[in-house]
Structure 1
Amino acid sequence: MELELRHLRTIRAIADAGSLTKAATALGLAQPALSAQLKRIERSLGGELFERGRQGVRATALGALVLDRARLVLPAVLELQEEAVRFARSGAPAGAGRRPLRIGGTHGPLLGGLVDRIASRDPGVEVVTHTSWSEREIAASTLEGRLDYALIGTCGESPPPEPGRLVWTEVARDPVFVMLAAGHPLAARPRVELGELAGEAWTDVPGDGCFADCFAAACARAGFAPVSVYETDIASCVHLVQVGRAVGLCRATFPDTPGMVTRPLAGTPLVWRHLLGRHPHAAAAVDAPRMTGHLRAAHRAAVARSGSYTRWLAARPPSEDGDAARDG
């Protein structure tokens, strides 16, 4: 038999009552049942816990040791239970201040910008981040309470993960640009037709969203299928573009980088929406408007850092997708 908390409560009740008869009454048990239980507990611990006499029971040396531990363990467990209930109801443990804000995100510029905004505007808030290539993983962690917010993106009007169970707010939307080596023949163009890149190898970051399908559909509309697509991390994508091994896709907020340029695709065939997700009943939901404001400010800062994006916005003709670059 393994020792359980109920066994420690039984031992303490016997010691406090001073007799098996009084302890049985306090515990709502028949005395024979309590005696049998005590014998099982003593066998599991390797010796007698109480000496029986005319004046009742007295703890043995082993009993005193177990009682000392029980008087530490049982209040601690009770406190843990009470604190857990308060935490579940309020989102913060009593006496511990505000718990860390847990934010999950996929690759992109806004997660870092959000952390920076929170650190500068809300310095008392501790932030814990989690990143994944999987939008579904981030959404599932938010749904299960392991994250407070999910920062992901979707292509065009495609729905995000768990649309009926998480609340999603669109923070901003950007056109998708193409990354070219600085010496690429099309690098001097103000914008590039997607069909002009039909013979190129491509590079992009992995993901389990709809972007790959949206890209394939846009290429099909332009009259070609991609020759090859290298899925890798952002740094490797940039390297492949810089050395001329591939062209890449990026959000328009991608910062200017030595050795490569970003250019808009004519007609804006691909659009990326930045979304903030949360559980509707999570304690952190009360801060959602503030979080959304921080994200929109981080997006504006990212736009300002991209020379190609700011030029595109200034020169955008009325025929371009009016929703692209919408901020809020």
Structure 2
Amino acid sequence: MDLELRHLRIVRAVADAGSLTRAATVLGLAQPALSTQLKRVERMLGGTLFVRGREGVRATALGELVLERARVLLPAVCELQEDAVRMARQGVRGYRLGATHGPLLGGLVDRIARDEPGVPVTTYTSWSEREVAGGVVDGRLDFALVGACGESAPPEPGRLAWVEVARDAVHVMLGEGHRLAGGGDGPGRGIELGELAGEAWADVPGDGCFGDCFAAACVRAGFTPVCVYETDTASCVHLVQVGRAVGLCRATFPATPGVVTRPLAGVPLVWRHLLGWHPAGRVAARAGEVLGWVRGAHAEALGRAGV
């Protein structure tokens, strides 16, 4: 039997976990099955890789040698696979765009269709910023259009190039009958977050830190949210329209019947629109042009929102 990559992954998993039991859990194997596979690897390599003790397993000298090589080979093979997929798709003409929720993806598609008519464009959306970024890393997508809360880092910062498209203050959505929706201060006045203590909230889900940052901002304002409904955009809007919740949105949120948007006083929350791509991607050379399109889409979205 020849040594395979899966054998090296087993050795690395055992070393990283520090015990066969924990490694078996990580690998999704039964502990006896992992022990059997490890013994086969040791027979192939001609010696014991780990010794067991009260505190788990410890690599032998041979084990350290194998681990040293595995930690070089496994990432290299992973990178090779990603580069091969990306190169195989070099001849495909068009743009493959991934994005989380928001108004900028539609604006980007519109601008590509206007400036490069006939060029195919495909889109993929997800609530997960990490999932969208992963699609660019493995070559399934050309560009990622995502958001980040405040100064938090975008996903895959060491593998993708990221640039900030724009920075928006987070606004609050109110039903048009809400006590703070109008009033003598005018529609542009900022609402203190503390004025909304006792309200239920609606927001779209995500895997960034926005939820934690919102909770922290509420604590600073002297309250804890009664509840937060994480749901799709249409449901958030409906809950706001019927007065069951107030919502969180970006400044680019379009004008919607039955909904009034107001900035939060003091800008306690900020949302950064980000564009990401792989430096070795098949259309990486077009990143500057794509960035210009996205910034134009953002400016147009602000205009539609009346900001």
Matched residues, number: 220
| Matching residue within 71, 84, 104 for 2:98 | 104
1:137-178 Cα shifts (integer Å, max 9, x gaps): 001111111110100000110001111111001011110000
Partner of 1:195: 194
| Matching residue within 172, 175, 191 for 2:169 | 175
| Matching residue within 151, 157, 164 for 1:163 | 157
Taking structure 1 as reference, are residues 162 and 184 closer, same or farther at Cα in structure 2, changes over 3 Å only?
same
Partner of 2:265: 266
TM-score, normalisation: structure 2: 0.69
Q: Secondary structure at the match of 2:283?
A: helix
1:61-109 Cα shifts (integer Å, max 9, x gaps): xxxxxxxxxxxxxxxxxxxxxxxx89827811xxxxx523110000000
Partner of 1:223: 222
Partner of 1:137: 131
Partner of 2:256: 257
Q: Secondary structure at the match of 2:216?
A: helix
Distance 2:218 2:139 in 1: 39
Partner of 1:71: none
User: Structure 1 vs Structure 2: percent identity of aligned residues?
Assistant: 68
1:289 paired to 2:288: yes
Larger radius of gyration: 1
Partner of 2:144: 150
TM-score, normalisation: structure 1: 0.65
Distance 1:144 1:213 in 2: 29
Partner of 1:88: 87
Partner of 1:237: 236
Q: Which runs of 5+ in 2 are unaligned?
A: 1-83
Partner of 1:64: none
Tell me the CA shift for residue 187 of structure 1: 0.6
Runs of 4+ in 1 over 6 A off after TM superposition: none
Distance 2:250 2:217 in 1: 16
1:202-228 Cα shifts (integer Å, max 9, x gaps): 000011111111111111111111110
Distance 2:134 2:194 in 1: 37
Q: Secondary structure at the match of 2:118?
A: coil
Partner of 2:22: none
Distance 1:298 1:90 in 2: 28
1:224-263 Cα shifts (integer Å, max 9, x gaps): 1111000110001000000000000000110111111000
Q: Secondary structure at the match of 2:153?
A: coil
| Matching residue within 109, 119, 122 for 2:113 | 119
Q: Secondary structure at the match of 1:163?
A: coil
Tell me the CA shift for residue 124 of structure 1: 2.9
Distance 1:182 1:86 in 2: 51
Partner of 2:274: 275
Partner of 2:247: 248
Contact 2:86 2:138 in 1 (8 A): no
Tell me the CA shift for residue 295 of structure 1: 0.2
Distance 1:87 1:140 in 2: 13
Question: Structure 2 matches for 1:15-34, cutoff 5 A?
Answer: none
Amino acid corresponding to residue 172 of structure 1 in structure 2: A
